[in-house]
Amino acid sequence: MITVEAKFKLEPHKKMEFDAGEEITEWNYWGINREKRLVINKDFLSITYIKWYKSFDDLKSEFLTIVNKLFEVFKDIQINCLGLRYINEINLEETDPLNWKKYLDNNLLSIFNIAEDKETIARGFNNLVLN
């Protein structure tokens, strides 16, 4: 078990001070034009795209190349969780921003029926967790 005690010091109009009590090595790698960043430390691996990736296939391929190389180099590596988050960009040509019927099944759109005044909706998420 690892216990980390962190201390923050916040004062108005001053730089925040942070003391984690533990030194952690973190490796940061950047793309040629600094359009993406790979971060590896003892707890996680993260790939952040500063500019959008072109497609899910490109994102998945690059992610799997990195992960497979880590498994190849570090034979005893243990992973608790491995995930890939892809954000689709959908350009709607609809005049009604809540009209997603062409793109999503109606069963997924029921969340929009909750609000009486649709103008008050800032964003909507559906979440289903099963055991």
Distance of CA 41 to the CA centre of its chain: 16
Spatial CA neighbour of 40 closest among 30, 49, 53: 30
Model pLDDT, residue 19: 66
Separation of alpha carbons 92 and 100, rounded Å: 9
pLDDT tier at 74 (50, 70, 90 boundaries)?
confident
| 110 token code pair | 């029921």
pLDDT above 70 covers a percentage of the chain that reads 82
Task: Tell me which amino acid residue 107 is.
Answer: N
Q: Which whole number is the average pLDDT over 43-71?
A: 82
Mean pLDDT score of the chain:
78
Q: Which residues contact 74 (CB under 8 A, 6 or more apart)?
A: none
Whole-model pTM: value is 0.49
Q: Which whole number is the average pLDDT over 52-68?
A: 84
Q: In this structure, is the dihedral angle defined by the CA atoms of residues 103, 107, 111 and 117, taken in order, positive or negative?
A: positive
Separation of alpha carbons 37 and 29, rounded Å: 6
Question: Is 47:38 a contact under the CB 8 Å cutoff?
Answer: yes
Separation of alpha carbons 88 and 86, rounded Å: 6
| 53 token code pair | 């990736």
- pLDDT 10s digits, 2-37: 344 556 666 777 776 666 666 778 889 898 888 888
